[in-house]
Amino acid sequence: MPSPKPAVVHPHLRPNTLGLTVRDYEGAPSTLCAGCGHDSVTAAIVRAFYELERPPHMIAKLSGIGCSSKTPTYFVGGAHGFNSAHGRMPSIATGANAANRSLTYLGISGDGDSLSIGVGQLVHAIRRNLDMLYVIENNGVYGLTKGQFSASADIGTKSKRGEANQYSPIDPVSLALELGASFVARAFSGDKGQLVPILKAGLSHKGFALIDVISPCVTFNDHEGSTKSYLNTRKRMLPVISTDFVAADFVPHAAEITTEYAPGSAVSVKLHDGSTVRLRKLAEDYDTGSRQSAADEVERHRSKGEVPTGLFFVDTNSRDMHDISGTTEVPLSQVPYQKLCPGSAALDELQKSFR
């Protein structure tokens, strides 16, 4: 058992308007390997929720099976969590969302969980434009079973035992763009400055937001010859779109966020909840509102061996599963029974047609 965290409160910890400090968005201590990329993602998620000032009990965190799927235990202890079955988190999230549309849904998955056993459920959650943020902590390897290649492993990448992968990889970003996801991004666990605003934008987006986070496995995929090692990711990573995020109802001065990346042309995109995400592009002719443009840009860099990152595509006017189904605004789990049962008189009337 890991030892509990010290109960010391840092004097600089400032409460947000809910009166919660960043510590209130933490969870149990991580049991992952020291240096695991996933722990950085966890820290970014804690920061994102804290800054977005979401009440913990209004967050539902769901996962499948794998190292990444363990991480919901490590953030927002005050939120309900559901560690489901391998590759099945999207369906659990779909049902949960169907029952209560008022919560924020965050799904944490990995490349094995999402791109192999669970690819069927992932693609259909995207098709339904389920209102959730879906994070793939992508390390190209099965960690819990000790180092097999996953479906996101690049051709030629070497396993710890020296074996080279021969199969073409599934790129979750291209997949999501193709299937109609309304928010598609990629980030690197080692770049918190980029990851936190993208997470916040994804959490504020209405519809299916997919963030592919390259999150190296220090134990099984951080060696020479691996394309998803820390070193190689840093080398190949290219932020083609940098992201600033301004939350809804945020104090005005915060809007003056500057980016550390070289400025291209900037666009501001207003998200469903009133938040604004400001995107700065490296390529002048790139249209972040165009799926085609995003797909081209991603492919252009990928073919050069680069790992493009950023918020590639966002559609702020998409209809989510509930819009499409015409579901009532009141969470279905809270509709009173009296409104659901037609009663005996209606049954008697209906049965006149059963004669």
Partner 1 sequence: MHQRQVIRTNDFALKLANVNGTGSASANGLLMQAIFRMGIPVSGKNLFPSNIQGLPTWYEVRVSKSGHTARALDYDLCIAMNAETYARDVKEVRSGGALLYDSSWPLDAALSRPDVTFLGVPLARMCNAIFTDSRERILMKNIAYLGTLVALLDIDMGVIDELLEEKFSKKKALRDSNHKALRAGYDFAIENFECPLPIRLEKMHATDDRILIDGNTATALGCLYAGATVAAWYPITPATSVMDSFKELCAEYRKDPETGKNNYCIVQAEDELAAIGMVIGASWNGARAFTSTAGPGISLMGELIGLAYYAEIPAVIVDVQRTGPSTGMPTRTQQGDILACAYASHGDTKHILLFPANPGECFTLAVAAFDLAERFQTPVFVLSDLDIGMNDWVCPRLKWDDGYRPNRGRVLGAAELEKMTKFFRYSPENEDHVAARTLPGVHSKGAFFTRGSGHNKLGGYTEVPDEYQEVMDRLAKKHKAAAAAVPAPILHKQVDAAFGIISLGGCDPAVREAVAALAERGIIADYLRVLGFPFGAEVEAFLAAHERVFVVEQNRDAQLRTLLTMETSAPKEKLRSVLVYGGFPLSSRHVIDGITAQLAQLEHR
Q: Given the rule CB under 8 A, which residues bind partner 1? A: 55-58, 60, 62, 72-73, 77-85, 88, 90-100, 102-103, 120-121, 123-124, 128, 321-322, 325-329, 331-335, 337, 339-344, 346-348, 350-351, 354-355
Decide if 208 contacts 126 (C-beta within 8 A).
Answer: yes
In terms of CB distance, is 177 or 321 closer to partner 1?
A: 321
CA 93 to CA 87: how far, in whole Å?
A: 12
The least CB distance from residue 81 to partner 1, in Å, is: 4
Least Å from the CB of residue 264 to partner 1: 39
Rounded alpha-carbon distances, angstroms, from residue 347 to 55, 94, 335, 354, 355: 43, 31, 21, 11, 13
Give min distance, CB of 170 to partner 1, in A: 17
Residue closer to partner 1 (CB basis): 103 or 246: 103
List alpha helices for 135-250, DSSP H.
Answer: 172-179, 192-204, 230-236
| Bridge partners of residue 232, in order along the sequence | none
**CB nearer to partner 1: pick between 97 and 194:** 97
Q: Extract the tokens encoding 8.
A: 């010391």
DSSP state of 66: S
Name which of 210 and 269 has its Cβ closer to partner 1.
210
Q: By three-state DSSP, how is residue 181 classified?
A: coil
* Least Å from the CB of residue 183 to partner 1: 21
Complex with partner 1: residue 161 or 355, whichever CB lies closer: 355
Report d(CA 286, CA 275) in Å as an integer: 22
Smallest distance from the beta carbon of 252 to partner 1, in angstroms? 30
Q: How far is the CB of 63 from partner 1 (least distance, A)?
A: 10
Min dist CB 57 to partner 1, Å, is: 4
DSSP state of 24: G
The 3-state DSSP class for residue 84 equals: coil
Q: What backbone phi and psi angles, to 5 degrees, belong to 210?
A: -115, 125
**Residue linked to tokens 């902590």:** 137
Give whichever of 93 and 241 is closer to partner 1, judged by the CB atom: 93
Nearer to partner 1, 256 or 348 (CB): 348
φ, ψ for residue 157 (rounded to 5)?
-65, 145
Q: How far apart are CA 273 and CA 202, in angstroms?
A: 11
Min dist. Cβ of residue 314 to partner 1 (A): 25
Helix (H, G, I), strand (E, B) or coil at 27: coil
CB 266 within 8 A of CB 280: yes
Kindly tell me which of 62 and 237 has the beta carbon lying closer to partner 1. Answer: 62
